[in-house]
Amino acid sequence: MSGVSAGIATQLVLAAVALVAATLAPARMRSHVAGAACAGLGVAGAVTGLVAMSGGNPGAGLQIPVTLPLGLPLEPLLLAPDRLGGVFLALAGAVAAVTAVYGIGYATGPAASRSGWAAFAVFILGMQLVPAASDVVSFLVAWETMAIGSTVLLLADHGARSEVVRATQWYAVMTHASFLLLLAGFAVLVAETGGTSFATIAAAGVSGTSASVAFVLLLGGFATKAGLVPVHVWLPRAHPEAPSHVSAAMSAAMVKMGVYGVLLAALRLLPQGPAWWAGLLLVLALASALYGILQASVATDLKRLLAYSTTENVGLILVAVAVALLLRGAGDEPVADVALTAALLLTVSHAAFKTVLFLGAGAILHATGERDLDRLGGLAAVMPTTSLTFGVAALGAAALPVTSGFAAEWVLLQSLIHGDGRDDVALAILLPITVAIVALTAGLALLTFVKAYGIAFLARPRSPAAEHGHEGGRSMRAAMLLGAAAVVGLGLAPGPVAAGLAEAVGASGIEVVGVLGVSLPAVDALLDPVALILLAAIVLAPVVVVHLAAARRAPRRDVDLAWGCGGVRVSPRMQYTATSYAEPLVRVFDDALQPSRDVEVSHADESRYLVSQVRFRQRVTDLVADRAYEPIVRATLGIGEGARRIQNGSIHRYLGFSFTALVLVLLAVTW
Amino acid sequence: MNTLTVPGLLAVQVVGALALTPILIGVMRQTRARLEGRAGGGVTQPWRDVRKLLAKEPLQAAGTGPMLSATPLLLITSSLVVCALVPLVGTASLATVPDDLFVVVSVLLLGTVALALLGLESGTAFGGMGSSRHMTIAALVEPTVLVAVYALSIPVGTSALSAIVAARVQDPASVVSPVGLLAVVALGIAVLAETGRLPVDNPSTHLELTMVHEAMVLESSGRDLAWLEVGSWLRLTALLGLLVNLAIPWGVATTLSLSAVLLGVAAIVVKLLVAGMLVAAGEVFLAKLRLFRVPELLAGSFVLAFLAVTASFLIGGAP
């Protein structure tokens, strides 16, 4: 038995253990036992993924022969991750382990119920089997397991808040639309090739119209899971309403399965696609990146902000994939390989920092009961660990040195500016637009995360709840610290990480330089974050010496008030809030966001000229959701209303229906 | 014997920048004062200000936290690293830390973010206002900077600044090529915005409501303020220096011999002082733009940068 198949068998066993623990353990110990089992399941997945990534034993895995009495040409189910699958298996496992540890301390109420933990185990198992699956049937089974587990988890708080039900409806509909598209896409491929295993499909080399139909269907399905515009609408609804460790796992790992799916389709199953596939993907990805970050930058609900930022990051990942495909089509293999590596680096980096960000948002919610940035503030003083870890992860999300996000975005930009557009007019137009949009996205991400961190953790508390915040339990803090360490670690050592990922996706020309740095000879560029830190330390040293000498002579003195133009009113309500922070941006992008503003002025009784109160309300809605989905929702509801007319509750009518149906069936049988 | 090592050159740049920067600011302020008919404080006034501030005690208002003391050091570190990396005196760079423009921009942004967080931390209306405006401008400048870099990098095939400047020294024709000119003009506008000069921000304003940079540092005093001032001046030196070396590359040391480095130092001092005087003279005739007109200016500079890229693809630079 190879390492990979042993690992997959272990995962199945551990998932069973977690299910048993979740259902049988007494309520007092349930979170500990089930959480530990889920964490074990995650670790098993991560280790299996790493083994599969190193590619020691290709094709090894767990084979389950099935024979259905239908005469369908099914090949045996095969759970054998290839090297690319190994990357995503390792990623899902690591995220699952961290979020499960966090869940031990965080889950309360419905999230800590029997069904809550059981669904979490099922969700993790499904997520880890998706990249392990090597044939269509097991892929779809794993995909649906993941979808069902996450839907149950999302429903956890439905008793407490009515929004949860709405969010779950959106999620369930979108996720099943995604499943149907995938089913259709794979059905086309299976019909063309006559086999259900990925190896058979890839070997057949499908091309022509049926390949394009299959690709578009698969892209639609995977894009829905990945949260690309315009099928992102479930993200900003589902992520805020789910328990935070679940949103972390969904955003950091489950959404990545959509990315995995796109890579599976574009690299493994249908590698010889025409250029317009890549063009279509690029347009969708750029729109997602820009729209996602624009919505995130004006959002005030912390978890909604993070959800939109997920759309942005998935957009950037798929920009890298699309550029890699375009360049590969144009014969520029070395640069295409760099872009592909950038895609995987961005994926891993996003998983690391988004886990921490969602867990941090959960810690804030746990401590204050608030998700609204406008009512937070000053949390750095009462929640130091959360503040530190959230800060590090926010740096990662803003792609600043020396975090994982920086290294990944650097590789992406290097691949973008070295694509040669001199011979190819399409590239000459697409690449500069791509660079510009990626740059604007990076700039807005900077503002978004300065806002998220600065408004929540710095300044003075904007509500009593924020004033009385407190740090979460030990397991919560441990999970966040682990995630933050990963963000910094991946940022300090881009070389080994990039080299490993490049190998997994079959890209060449990514080299480790020095101990931890990365070198890209194809584009003549090099990045060694450790050396950068050393340089910074050297230039900082004399400054620190002067600083300390000055500090000895003139120590810091505390004063009461900040500068208020001579005024002494220090109400925390005078501070900038998240809404006001993003106000200039809302004005600049007025046409794209179309915010609605209400200003209500109420006058004092004595005189119309005296103002007693001014109310200002601003709402920024998701235009895509409003314009594209509302008509569909209305039409569906209309059909439902119409259908109600034929079922009016009269028993005679129902008997009539039954009779008619019986007659029709008899006719059909005897015909 | 008469050659420097690369770390030696970087040390020359950092120390030189630290020494020259207050003078540069002094010259700019003095130029402006004279043109406006004032006597001015003399070119060494910024030096004396920094010395005075370093000796004074910093005040800490109630409710402010760690960013108040951390930001000044973060900002000055980021500025000094940028001064070390940018080819001001010569075009040599370390093997392990190449002067890659994306890295330089990211290091600069680290300082930008530290400043923005400092502004938010004060918990006053002014700090938040400055921080919000500052980040909005920074976010909108980003596309111009990266696309201009992209345009400059196409002819040389790398984003390393030293390679770009060295190529311009060797091939002066590329300086006046449309691609080069468009990219440098676009970058120039971005530099003005990034360093908080007119018409984007008025560095000498005393009215809180119009402040951007000043609003964020309102709560800082003593040595904190000294580092913040020096840090933001150093950004001006580094970026203006980069800009003049791109526009007028002559004099930049392409070897590490002592004479070349000395010539490089002299060249950059002269170029920077002249450029500073020109910027200051220009500012006399400019008013600050309304904040919501700034995006239009930046969009204009973005279009220039974008044209530069497409021009270099379509009319073709050197392969």
Provide the ipTM: 0.93
* Residue A550 is assigned to a structural domain of this protein: no
Place of tokens 């249908």: A270
**Confidence (pLDDT) at A538:** 93
DSSP track, A73-110: -PPPEEE---HHHHHHHHHHHHHHHHHHHHHHHH--GG
User: From residue B102, how far is each of A412, A513, B76, B105, B159 by CA, in Å?
Assistant: 11, 19, 19, 5, 7
If you average pLDDT over residues B275-288, what whole number do you get? Answer: 90
User: For residue B38, with 0-12 CB atoms within 10 Å meaning exposed, 13-18 middle and 19 or more buried, which class applies?
Assistant: exposed
Measuring CA to CA, which residue among A422, A416, A415 is closest to residue A522?
Answer: A415
Distance CA A172, CA A571 (A): 45
> Which of A 586-615 lie inside 8 A of B, CB atoms?
587-588
B95 against B85, higher pLDDT: B85
Cβ atoms of A351 and A95 closer than 8 Å: yes
**pLDDT per position as a tens digit, B146-166:** 998 888 888 888 888 888 898
* Residue A568 is assigned to a structural domain of this protein: no
> Is the same domain home to A335 and A246?
no
> Is the same domain home to A330 and A362?
yes
| AA letter at B226 | A
> Is the same domain home to A323 and A369?
yes
Distance CA A446, CA A476 (A): 27
Percentage above 90 pLDDT, chain B: 44
Mark which of A496, A524, A552 sits at the end of a domain: A524
Residue numbers in chain A where pLDDT is lower than 50: none
* Residue A505 is assigned to a structural domain of this protein: yes
> Is the same domain home to A231 and A351?
no
**Confidence (pLDDT) at B132:** 93
**Confidence (pLDDT) at B318:** 42
Distance CA A33, CA A29 (A): 6
Identify the bridge partners of residue A599 per DSSP, sorted by sequence position.
A616
A378 close to B (CB below 8 A): yes
> Which of A 398-457 lie inside 8 A of B, CB atoms?
398-401, 406, 410, 413-414, 416-418, 421-422, 428-429, 432, 435-440, 442-444, 446-447, 450-451, 453-455
If you average pLDDT over residues B109-131, what whole number do you get? Answer: 90
DSSP track, A224-237: HHHT-TTS-TTHHH
Q: Please name the residue of chain A whose CA is at the shortest distance from the CA of residue B121.
A: A459
The answer to whether B106 contacts A399, with C-beta atoms less than 8 Å apart, is: yes
* Residue A585 is assigned to a structural domain of this protein: yes
* Residue A554 is assigned to a structural domain of this protein: no
Which residues of chain A make contact with B150, given a CB cutoff of 8 A?
Answer: 416-417, 432, 435
Give the number of domains in chain A.
4
Measuring CA to CA, which residue among B211, B202, B217 is closest to residue B76?
Answer: B217
Indicate the residue of A410, A526, A554 with minimum beta-carbon distance to B56: A554
> Is the same domain home to A232 and A202?
yes
**Confidence (pLDDT) at A161:** 86
Indicate the residue of A401, A517, A576 with minimum beta-carbon distance to B125: A576
> Is the same domain home to A92 and A1?
yes
> Which of A 524-543 lie inside 8 A of B, CB atoms?
524-528, 531-532, 535-536, 539-540, 543
The answer to whether A446 contacts B139, with C-beta atoms less than 8 Å apart, is: yes
Distance CA B88, CA B253 (A): 9
Q: Please name the residue of chain B whose CA is at the shortest distance from the CA of residue A583.
A: B132
> Is the same domain home to A29 and A111?
yes
Mark which of A271, A286, A310 sits at the end of a domain: A271
The answer to whether A440 contacts B142, with C-beta atoms less than 8 Å apart, is: yes
The answer to whether B133 contacts A584, with C-beta atoms less than 8 Å apart, is: yes
The answer to whether A450 contacts B63, with C-beta atoms less than 8 Å apart, is: no
Cβ atoms of A535 and B97 closer than 8 Å: yes
Asked whether the predicted pLDDT for residue B319 surpasses 50, the reply is: no
**Confidence (pLDDT) at A73:** 63
Indicate the residue of B69, B127, B142 with minimum beta-carbon distance to A439: B142
* Residue A278 is assigned to a structural domain of this protein: yes
> Is the same domain home to A5 and A151?
yes
Helix axis angle for A425-457 and A275-298, nearest 10°, is 20
A644 close to B (CB below 8 A): no
Backbone angles phi, psi at B197, to 5 degrees: -100, 170
Q: Cα angle at A253 between A252 and A258, to 5 degrees?
A: 110
> Is the same domain home to A244 and A283?
no
Q: What element of type H or E holds A600?
A: strand A596-603
CB atoms within 10 A of CB A93: 27
* Residue A68 is assigned to a structural domain of this protein: no
A566 against B11, higher pLDDT: B11
The answer to whether B100 contacts A527, with C-beta atoms less than 8 Å apart, is: yes
Q: Please name the residue of chain A whose CA is at the shortest distance from the CA of residue B230.
A: A543
**Confidence (pLDDT) at B317:** 46
The answer to whether A553 contacts B55, with C-beta atoms less than 8 Å apart, is: yes
3-state secondary structure of A576: coil
Cβ atoms of A584 and B200 closer than 8 Å: no
**Confidence (pLDDT) at A188:** 93
**pLDDT per position as a tens digit, A148-198:** 999 999 998 888 888 899 999 999 999 999 999 999 999 999 998 888 889
> Is the same domain home to A469 and A355?
yes
* Residue A61 is assigned to a structural domain of this protein: no
Peptide bond into B66 cis (omega under 30): no
Asked whether the predicted pLDDT for residue B1 surpasses 60, the reply is: no
Total beta-carbon pairs less than 8 A apart between chain A and chain B: 256
Mark which of A271, A297, A327 sits at the end of a domain: A271
Distance CA B127, CA A560 (A): 17
- Residue A599, domain extent: 576-619
> Is the same domain home to A120 and A229?
yes
**pLDDT per position as a tens digit, B224-264:** 999 999 999 999 999 999 999 998 888 888 888 888 889 99
Alpha-carbon distance B282 to nearest alpha carbon in chain A (angstroms): 27
Side-chain-side CA neighbours of residue A486 (13 Å): 20
> Is the same domain home to A390 and A432?
yes
Asked whether the predicted pLDDT for residue B173 surpasses 60, the reply is: yes
